[in-house]
Structure 1
Amino acid sequence: MVIILLTLGLIGLVVLGLWFGWRARRRRQVNIPAPLPVPDRLLATEPLAQAQGIYVSTVRGEDWLDRVAVHGLGIRTRAQCEVHPLGVVLLLEGSPNFVIPFRDITQISTSSGMVGKFVEKDGLITIGWNLGQIPVTTGFRTRNSADQHTLLETMHQTSQQRQPE
Protein backbone atom coordinates (compact mmCIF):
# COMPACT_ATOMS: atom_id res chain seq x y z
CA MET A 1 0.00 0.00 0.00
CA VAL A 2 2.86 2.39 0.81
CA ILE A 3 4.43 1.78 -2.61
CA ILE A 4 1.15 2.63 -4.34
CA LEU A 5 0.81 5.88 -2.37
CA LEU A 6 4.43 6.84 -3.09
CA THR A 7 3.95 6.10 -6.80
CA LEU A 8 0.76 8.19 -6.94
CA GLY A 9 2.52 11.01 -5.08
CA LEU A 10 5.43 10.90 -7.53
CA ILE A 11 3.07 10.95 -10.51
CA GLY A 12 1.27 13.92 -8.95
CA LEU A 13 4.56 15.79 -8.52
CA VAL A 14 5.52 15.14 -12.15
CA VAL A 15 2.14 16.41 -13.41
CA LEU A 16 2.40 19.46 -11.15
CA GLY A 17 5.92 20.15 -12.46
CA LEU A 18 4.70 19.92 -16.07
CA TRP A 19 1.85 22.32 -15.32
CA PHE A 20 4.19 24.87 -13.68
CA GLY A 21 6.62 24.56 -16.60
CA TRP A 22 3.90 25.18 -19.20
CA ARG A 23 2.62 28.16 -17.21
CA ALA A 24 6.13 29.64 -16.97
CA ARG A 25 6.64 29.14 -20.74
CA ARG A 26 3.41 31.02 -21.45
CA ARG A 27 4.53 33.92 -19.21
CA ARG A 28 7.88 34.11 -21.03
CA GLN A 29 6.10 34.26 -24.39
CA VAL A 30 3.63 37.08 -23.72
CA ASN A 31 5.49 39.17 -26.33
CA ILE A 32 4.48 36.79 -29.13
CA PRO A 33 1.49 38.27 -30.99
CA ALA A 34 -1.60 36.27 -31.88
CA PRO A 35 -1.73 35.01 -35.47
CA LEU A 36 -4.24 36.54 -37.85
CA PRO A 37 -7.74 35.08 -37.53
CA VAL A 38 -9.30 33.62 -40.67
CA PRO A 39 -11.57 36.21 -42.35
CA ASP A 40 -15.14 34.96 -42.91
CA ARG A 41 -14.94 35.91 -46.59
CA LEU A 42 -11.95 33.58 -46.96
CA LEU A 43 -13.86 30.65 -45.46
CA ALA A 44 -16.63 31.25 -47.99
CA THR A 45 -14.27 30.75 -50.96
CA GLU A 46 -13.11 27.48 -52.45
CA PRO A 47 -9.49 26.71 -51.49
CA LEU A 48 -6.88 26.01 -54.17
CA ALA A 49 -5.92 22.87 -52.22
CA GLN A 50 -6.88 21.34 -48.89
CA ALA A 51 -6.09 18.34 -46.73
CA GLN A 52 -7.09 16.79 -43.43
CA GLY A 53 -4.36 15.97 -40.96
CA ILE A 54 -2.66 16.90 -37.71
CA TYR A 55 -1.53 20.37 -36.73
CA VAL A 56 1.70 19.50 -34.92
CA SER A 57 2.63 22.85 -33.35
CA THR A 58 4.36 26.14 -33.92
CA VAL A 59 7.92 26.60 -32.66
CA ARG A 60 10.16 29.64 -32.41
CA GLY A 61 12.54 30.01 -35.34
CA GLU A 62 13.86 26.64 -36.45
CA ASP A 63 14.27 25.29 -32.92
CA TRP A 64 12.06 22.19 -33.24
CA LEU A 65 11.90 21.87 -29.42
CA ASP A 66 10.94 25.46 -28.49
CA ARG A 67 7.16 25.19 -28.71
CA VAL A 68 5.09 28.39 -28.74
CA ALA A 69 2.69 28.00 -25.80
CA VAL A 70 0.52 31.10 -26.27
CA HIS A 71 -2.61 31.61 -28.40
CA GLY A 72 -3.20 27.84 -28.71
CA LEU A 73 -0.22 27.49 -31.07
CA GLY A 74 1.48 24.80 -29.00
CA ILE A 75 -1.39 22.34 -28.82
CA ARG A 76 -1.31 19.38 -31.19
CA THR A 77 -4.75 18.78 -32.69
CA ARG A 78 -6.64 17.48 -35.70
CA ALA A 79 -6.85 20.12 -38.39
CA GLN A 80 -7.57 21.01 -41.97
CA CYS A 81 -4.97 22.89 -43.98
CA GLU A 82 -6.18 24.99 -46.91
CA VAL A 83 -4.24 26.99 -49.47
CA HIS A 84 -5.93 30.21 -50.65
CA PRO A 85 -4.56 33.03 -52.82
CA LEU A 86 -4.07 35.08 -49.62
CA GLY A 87 -2.17 32.41 -47.72
CA VAL A 88 -2.30 29.14 -45.81
CA VAL A 89 -5.32 28.63 -43.55
CA LEU A 90 -5.22 26.24 -40.59
CA LEU A 91 -8.62 25.19 -39.24
CA LEU A 92 -7.93 23.63 -35.86
CA GLU A 93 -10.18 21.51 -33.64
CA GLY A 94 -10.35 23.04 -30.17
CA SER A 95 -8.01 25.97 -30.88
CA PRO A 96 -8.45 29.26 -32.76
CA ASN A 97 -8.18 29.02 -36.55
CA PHE A 98 -5.54 31.20 -38.17
CA VAL A 99 -4.13 32.27 -41.51
CA ILE A 100 -0.48 32.58 -42.52
CA PRO A 101 -0.35 35.24 -45.26
CA PHE A 102 2.05 34.45 -48.11
CA ARG A 103 3.74 37.83 -47.53
CA ASP A 104 4.89 36.53 -44.10
CA ILE A 105 6.09 33.11 -45.30
CA THR A 106 9.86 32.74 -45.50
CA GLN A 107 10.12 29.01 -46.23
CA ILE A 108 7.93 26.08 -47.24
CA SER A 109 9.61 22.74 -46.67
CA THR A 110 9.35 19.25 -45.23
CA SER A 111 10.90 17.69 -42.16
CA SER A 112 11.01 14.41 -40.28
CA GLY A 113 9.67 16.05 -37.14
CA MET A 114 9.34 18.76 -34.58
CA VAL A 115 8.27 18.90 -30.93
CA GLY A 116 5.25 16.66 -30.49
CA LYS A 117 5.62 14.56 -33.66
CA PHE A 118 8.46 12.71 -35.34
CA VAL A 119 7.75 10.71 -38.49
CA GLU A 120 9.49 9.33 -41.57
CA LYS A 121 11.82 11.48 -43.65
CA ASP A 122 9.98 14.51 -45.09
CA GLY A 123 6.70 13.42 -43.46
CA LEU A 124 5.79 16.87 -42.11
CA ILE A 125 5.07 20.07 -43.99
CA THR A 126 6.90 22.92 -42.26
CA ILE A 127 6.12 26.56 -42.92
CA GLY A 128 8.63 29.16 -41.77
CA TRP A 129 7.02 32.56 -41.32
CA ASN A 130 7.15 35.81 -39.38
CA LEU A 131 4.57 36.20 -36.64
CA GLY A 132 4.91 39.93 -36.23
CA GLN A 133 8.67 40.36 -35.84
CA ILE A 134 9.20 36.86 -34.45
CA PRO A 135 10.31 34.05 -36.80
CA VAL A 136 8.34 30.85 -36.21
CA THR A 137 7.84 27.50 -37.91
CA THR A 138 4.51 25.68 -38.09
CA GLY A 139 4.21 21.94 -38.71
CA PHE A 140 1.36 20.04 -40.36
CA ARG A 141 1.07 16.31 -41.10
CA THR A 142 -1.39 15.24 -43.80
CA ARG A 143 -3.33 12.00 -43.53
CA ASN A 144 -1.87 10.71 -46.78
CA SER A 145 1.17 11.50 -48.87
CA ALA A 146 -0.79 12.41 -52.01
CA ASP A 147 -2.43 15.28 -50.13
CA GLN A 148 0.97 16.37 -48.83
CA HIS A 149 2.35 16.57 -52.37
CA THR A 150 -0.70 18.55 -53.57
CA LEU A 151 -0.49 21.01 -50.67
CA LEU A 152 3.25 21.57 -51.12
CA GLU A 153 2.95 22.08 -54.88
CA THR A 154 0.08 24.54 -54.47
CA MET A 155 1.84 26.44 -51.67
CA HIS A 156 5.03 26.79 -53.73
CA GLN A 157 3.19 27.88 -56.89
CA THR A 158 0.90 30.33 -55.10
CA SER A 159 3.66 31.86 -52.98
CA GLN A 160 5.81 32.43 -56.09
CA GLN A 161 2.90 34.14 -57.84
CA ARG A 162 2.47 36.43 -54.81
CA GLN A 163 6.13 37.53 -54.76
CA PRO A 164 6.63 41.18 -55.78
CA GLU A 165 8.44 41.67 -59.08
Structure 2
Amino acid sequence: MTSLITIAAQYTAERKSAEVTDWAARIGWVVGLLIFIALVYWLMRQGWKWRGSLQSGLPELPTAPGDPGEPRLTMTGRYHGSTTAGQWLDRIVAHGLGVRSRAGLTLTDAGLDVVRPGAASFFIPRDALREARLDKGIAGKVLAEGGLLIVTWEHGGTLVDSGFRSERAAEHNDWVTTLNHLISTTEGAR
Protein backbone atom coordinates (compact mmCIF):
# COMPACT_ATOMS: atom_id res chain seq x y z
CA MET A 1 0.00 0.00 0.00
CA THR A 2 2.83 2.38 0.82
CA SER A 3 4.46 1.69 -2.52
CA LEU A 4 1.28 2.68 -4.36
CA ILE A 5 1.18 6.01 -2.54
CA THR A 6 4.86 6.56 -3.33
CA ILE A 7 4.32 5.76 -7.02
CA ALA A 8 1.27 8.09 -7.18
CA ALA A 9 3.25 10.90 -5.54
CA GLN A 10 6.12 10.46 -8.00
CA TYR A 11 3.71 10.34 -10.94
CA THR A 12 2.00 13.62 -9.94
CA ALA A 13 5.36 15.29 -9.28
CA GLU A 14 6.46 14.45 -12.83
CA ARG A 15 3.23 15.89 -14.35
CA LYS A 16 4.11 19.54 -13.59
CA SER A 17 4.17 21.84 -16.58
CA ALA A 18 7.48 23.11 -17.79
CA GLU A 19 8.67 26.52 -16.72
CA VAL A 20 8.16 29.27 -19.28
CA THR A 21 11.61 30.18 -20.44
CA ASP A 22 10.98 31.83 -23.80
CA TRP A 23 9.18 35.04 -22.82
CA ALA A 24 10.17 36.82 -26.03
CA ALA A 25 8.34 34.27 -28.19
CA ARG A 26 5.19 34.48 -26.05
CA ILE A 27 5.20 38.27 -26.08
CA GLY A 28 5.75 38.19 -29.85
CA TRP A 29 2.71 35.94 -30.35
CA VAL A 30 0.52 38.16 -28.14
CA VAL A 31 1.61 41.33 -29.96
CA GLY A 32 1.06 39.62 -33.33
CA LEU A 33 -2.43 38.55 -32.30
CA LEU A 34 -3.31 42.07 -31.13
CA ILE A 35 -2.07 43.53 -34.44
CA PHE A 36 -4.16 40.98 -36.36
CA ILE A 37 -7.29 41.87 -34.36
CA ALA A 38 -6.67 45.59 -34.95
CA LEU A 39 -6.23 44.96 -38.69
CA VAL A 40 -9.49 43.03 -38.93
CA TYR A 41 -11.33 45.81 -37.05
CA TRP A 42 -9.81 48.46 -39.33
CA LEU A 43 -10.83 46.49 -42.46
CA MET A 44 -14.41 46.15 -41.16
CA ARG A 45 -14.53 49.91 -40.51
CA GLN A 46 -13.20 50.65 -44.00
CA GLY A 47 -15.85 48.37 -45.49
CA TRP A 48 -18.58 50.24 -43.61
CA LYS A 49 -17.21 53.59 -44.86
CA TRP A 50 -16.94 52.25 -48.40
CA ARG A 51 -20.56 51.08 -48.33
CA GLY A 52 -21.59 54.52 -47.08
CA SER A 53 -19.72 56.22 -49.93
CA LEU A 54 -21.41 53.94 -52.48
CA GLN A 55 -24.78 55.01 -51.06
CA SER A 56 -23.90 58.72 -50.89
CA GLY A 57 -26.42 59.42 -53.67
CA LEU A 58 -29.26 59.10 -51.18
CA PRO A 59 -30.53 62.53 -50.13
CA GLU A 60 -30.59 63.66 -46.51
CA LEU A 61 -33.30 62.06 -44.38
CA PRO A 62 -36.50 64.08 -44.01
CA THR A 63 -37.33 65.56 -40.62
CA ALA A 64 -40.74 65.69 -38.99
CA PRO A 65 -42.93 68.72 -39.74
CA GLY A 66 -43.60 71.21 -36.97
CA ASP A 67 -47.17 70.00 -36.44
CA PRO A 68 -47.53 66.43 -37.73
CA GLY A 69 -51.05 66.04 -36.32
CA GLU A 70 -52.67 63.67 -33.87
CA PRO A 71 -50.93 60.31 -33.36
CA ARG A 72 -52.80 57.31 -34.77
CA LEU A 73 -50.36 54.80 -33.24
CA THR A 74 -47.25 54.95 -31.09
CA MET A 75 -44.68 52.27 -30.41
CA THR A 76 -41.41 51.93 -28.53
CA GLY A 77 -38.91 49.26 -29.38
CA ARG A 78 -35.84 48.76 -31.55
CA TYR A 79 -34.83 49.92 -34.99
CA HIS A 80 -32.88 47.08 -36.65
CA GLY A 81 -31.76 48.78 -39.83
CA SER A 82 -32.73 49.56 -43.38
CA THR A 83 -32.04 47.68 -46.59
CA THR A 84 -32.78 48.04 -50.26
CA ALA A 85 -36.39 46.86 -50.65
CA GLY A 86 -36.61 43.14 -51.27
CA GLN A 87 -32.89 42.62 -50.51
CA TRP A 88 -32.92 41.81 -46.80
CA LEU A 89 -29.11 41.61 -46.56
CA ASP A 90 -28.25 44.76 -48.56
CA ARG A 91 -27.91 47.12 -45.60
CA ILE A 92 -28.13 50.86 -46.20
CA VAL A 93 -25.61 52.68 -44.01
CA ALA A 94 -25.80 56.20 -45.49
CA HIS A 95 -27.10 58.94 -43.17
CA GLY A 96 -27.02 56.63 -40.14
CA LEU A 97 -29.66 54.21 -41.44
CA GLY A 98 -27.33 51.27 -40.74
CA VAL A 99 -27.06 51.97 -37.01
CA ARG A 100 -29.24 49.79 -34.79
CA SER A 101 -30.82 51.65 -31.89
CA ARG A 102 -33.79 52.06 -29.63
CA ALA A 103 -36.65 53.78 -31.40
CA GLY A 104 -39.95 55.46 -30.78
CA LEU A 105 -42.41 55.41 -33.68
CA THR A 106 -45.36 57.74 -34.07
CA LEU A 107 -47.78 57.38 -36.96
CA THR A 108 -49.81 60.46 -37.87
CA ASP A 109 -51.72 61.59 -40.95
CA ALA A 110 -48.51 63.33 -42.09
CA GLY A 111 -46.40 60.14 -41.96
CA LEU A 112 -44.19 58.01 -39.72
CA ASP A 113 -41.85 59.75 -37.28
CA VAL A 114 -38.90 57.59 -36.14
CA VAL A 115 -37.15 59.04 -33.08
CA ARG A 116 -33.85 57.31 -32.25
CA PRO A 117 -31.97 58.41 -29.13
CA GLY A 118 -28.24 58.36 -29.85
CA ALA A 119 -28.75 58.01 -33.61
CA ALA A 120 -30.19 60.06 -36.48
CA SER A 121 -33.97 60.37 -36.23
CA PHE A 122 -35.96 60.55 -39.46
CA PHE A 123 -39.44 61.07 -40.81
CA ILE A 124 -41.18 59.08 -43.56
CA PRO A 125 -43.78 61.30 -45.25
CA ARG A 126 -47.17 59.73 -45.89
CA ASP A 127 -46.78 59.86 -49.68
CA ALA A 128 -43.43 58.02 -49.44
CA LEU A 129 -44.93 55.02 -47.60
CA ARG A 130 -45.41 51.99 -49.87
CA GLU A 131 -46.13 48.89 -47.74
CA ALA A 132 -46.07 47.43 -44.24
CA ARG A 133 -45.65 43.74 -43.50
CA LEU A 134 -44.40 41.28 -40.91
CA ASP A 135 -41.20 39.40 -41.69
CA LYS A 136 -38.56 37.37 -39.92
CA GLY A 137 -35.32 39.12 -40.85
CA ILE A 138 -33.52 42.22 -42.02
CA ALA A 139 -29.83 43.12 -42.36
CA GLY A 140 -28.39 40.30 -40.31
CA LYS A 141 -31.16 40.25 -37.67
CA VAL A 142 -33.31 37.12 -37.84
CA LEU A 143 -36.22 36.46 -35.48
CA ALA A 144 -39.22 34.16 -35.40
CA GLU A 145 -41.64 34.41 -38.33
CA GLY A 146 -43.49 37.73 -38.07
CA GLY A 147 -41.10 39.07 -35.44
CA LEU A 148 -40.24 42.26 -37.34
CA LEU A 149 -42.40 45.08 -38.62
CA ILE A 150 -41.03 45.99 -42.05
CA VAL A 151 -42.01 49.36 -43.51
CA THR A 152 -41.27 49.89 -47.21
CA TRP A 153 -40.86 53.51 -48.27
CA GLU A 154 -39.37 55.53 -51.08
CA HIS A 155 -36.41 57.83 -50.49
CA GLY A 156 -34.62 59.61 -53.32
CA GLY A 157 -35.98 57.21 -55.94
CA THR A 158 -34.86 54.16 -53.95
CA LEU A 159 -37.28 51.77 -52.27
CA VAL A 160 -36.14 51.13 -48.70
CA ASP A 161 -37.20 48.48 -46.18
CA SER A 162 -36.83 49.56 -42.54
CA GLY A 163 -37.18 47.00 -39.75
CA PHE A 164 -38.64 47.63 -36.31
CA ARG A 165 -39.46 45.42 -33.35
CA SER A 166 -41.88 46.57 -30.70
CA GLU A 167 -41.40 45.93 -27.00
CA ARG A 168 -44.84 44.32 -27.28
CA ALA A 169 -44.83 42.16 -30.43
CA ALA A 170 -48.64 41.89 -30.36
CA GLU A 171 -48.74 45.52 -31.60
CA HIS A 172 -47.21 44.57 -34.95
CA ASN A 173 -50.49 43.43 -36.51
CA ASP A 174 -52.22 46.74 -35.64
CA TRP A 175 -49.33 48.61 -37.21
CA VAL A 176 -49.47 46.59 -40.44
CA THR A 177 -53.24 47.07 -40.73
CA THR A 178 -53.17 50.80 -39.96
CA LEU A 179 -50.15 51.56 -42.16
CA ASN A 180 -51.54 49.65 -45.14
CA HIS A 181 -54.91 51.39 -44.73
CA LEU A 182 -53.15 54.79 -44.62
CA ILE A 183 -51.13 53.85 -47.73
CA SER A 184 -54.23 52.70 -49.67
CA THR A 185 -56.09 55.93 -48.88
CA THR A 186 -53.03 57.95 -49.95
CA GLU A 187 -52.78 56.05 -53.26
CA GLY A 188 -56.49 56.62 -53.85
CA ALA A 189 -56.00 60.38 -53.39
CA ARG A 190 -53.12 60.55 -55.93
TM-score by length of 2: 0.79
Structure 2 residue 107 is the aligned partner of structure 1 residue 86: no
Distance 2:131 2:183 in 1: 10
- Residue 166 of structure 2, aligned match among 127, 138, 142: 142
3-state SS of 1:79 partner: strand
- Residue 141 of structure 2, aligned match among 112, 117, 121: 117
8 Å CA contact 1:83, 1:154 repeated in 2: no
* Residue in 2 that maps onto 1:57: 81
8 Å CA contact 2:112, 2:125 repeated in 1: yes
Distance 1:78 1:22 in 2: 21
- What's the offset of the Cα at 1:3? 2.9
- What's the offset of the Cα at 1:159? 2.1
* Residue in 2 that maps onto 1:25: 51
Distance 1:144 1:3 in 2: 48
* Residue in 1 that maps onto 2:32: 6
- What's the offset of the Cα at 1:128? 1.3
Instruction: Tell me how large the CA RMSD over aligned residues is.
Output: 1.5
CA offset digits 1:29-82 (Å, max 9, x no partner): 11011221112312xx44111111111111122211111111111100000111
8 Å CA contact 1:51, 1:151 repeated in 2: no
CA offset digits 1:90-118 (Å, max 9, x no partner): 11112222111231222211110111421
8 Å CA contact 2:130, 2:154 repeated in 1: yes
Q: Percent sequence identity over matched residues?
A: 26
Greater RCO (Cα-Cα under 8 Å, separation 6 or more): 1
- What's the offset of the Cα at 1:153? 2.3
Unpaired segments ≥5 residues, structure 2 = 1-26
Unpaired segments ≥5 residues, structure 1 = none
- Deviant stretches of 4+, over 4 Å: none
Q: Which has the larger radius of gyration?
A: 2
Deviates more, 1:153-162 or 1:65-74: 153-162
Distance 2:31 2:153 in 1: 48
Distance 2:32 2:135 in 1: 41
CA offset digits 1:8-41 (Å, max 9, x no partner): 1111011000111111111111101122111231
More helix by share: 2
**Change over 3 Å in CA distance of 1:46–1:106 after alignment to 2:** closer
TM-score by length of 1: 0.91
* Residue in 1 that maps onto 2:129: 105
3-state SS of 1:164 partner: helix
